[in-house]
Amino acid sequence: MSFIKNYFPTALAFFIAFVFLQSLVFKFTGSEETVIIFSTIGQWMADIGLPRSFADAFAQHGGVAVGIGELFASILVLVPRTRIWGAALGWFVMSGAIFFHLFTPLGIVRVVDAAGNTDGGVLFMMACGVWLSSLGLIYLNRHKLMALQSRFNNNERILEVAP
């Protein structure tokens, strides 16, 4: 039990940060792989009726925007005091990634270059791993959320009693 309490959360946090941080180079440099991914999603957005300007902006800047979210999640998850917020942000980012893999033309096994090579589903599996790790950290740190809820409820009561 002490292993889970003492080391498992840190291992989960390091896994999340590792996956996010190693992908930043691709997102921040506009690699071919990133361009293909976000262009595919942007085209899908336009095809389902979202404004073309929004779809084009997502295709062009989505990689950097997601990368910034992943960078913040990595920093937050590595600090024990903010770990739950990093886990929550990581969970939200990966929920989006999993959605796009499952419900858009991006697919689970996706094309990574102009030659048509695929990743064999590795990116999707990594997203699932980060999603589950983030969920695990949220569960292991649920007492922080409960304390925050209790604090919020106490402040509500104070406001109700005040004249």
Dump pLDDT digits (tens) for 3-22. 677 799 999 999 999 999 99
Hey, what long-range contacts does 60-63 have (CB within 8 A, 24 or more apart)?
A: 62/38, 63/26, 63/27, 63/28, 63/30, 63/34, 63/35, 63/37, 63/38
Which residue did the predictor score with more confidence, 155 or 29?
A: 29
Average pLDDT on 51-58 reads: 97
What count of Cα atoms within 13 Å lies in the side-chain half-sphere of residue 79? 8
- Picking from 44, 157, 60, 50, the residue whose alpha carbon sits closest to that of residue 105 is 44
Q: What is the pTM (predicted TM-score) of this model?
A: 0.87
Domain count of the chain? 1
The answer to whether 23 touches 129, Cβ cutoff 8 Å, is: no
Which residue did the predictor score with more confidence, 55 or 159?
A: 55
- pLDDT band at residue 161 under the 50/70/90 scheme: low
Would you say the C-alpha torsion 55, 101, 16, 95 has a positive or negative sign? positive
The answer to whether 64 touches 27, Cβ cutoff 8 Å, is: yes
Task: Say what the pLDDT of residue 160 is.
Answer: 57
* Domain containing residue 95: 2-161
The answer to whether 20 touches 130, Cβ cutoff 8 Å, is: yes
Residue 76 has pLDDT above 60, yes or no: yes
Residue 56 has pLDDT above 90, yes or no: yes
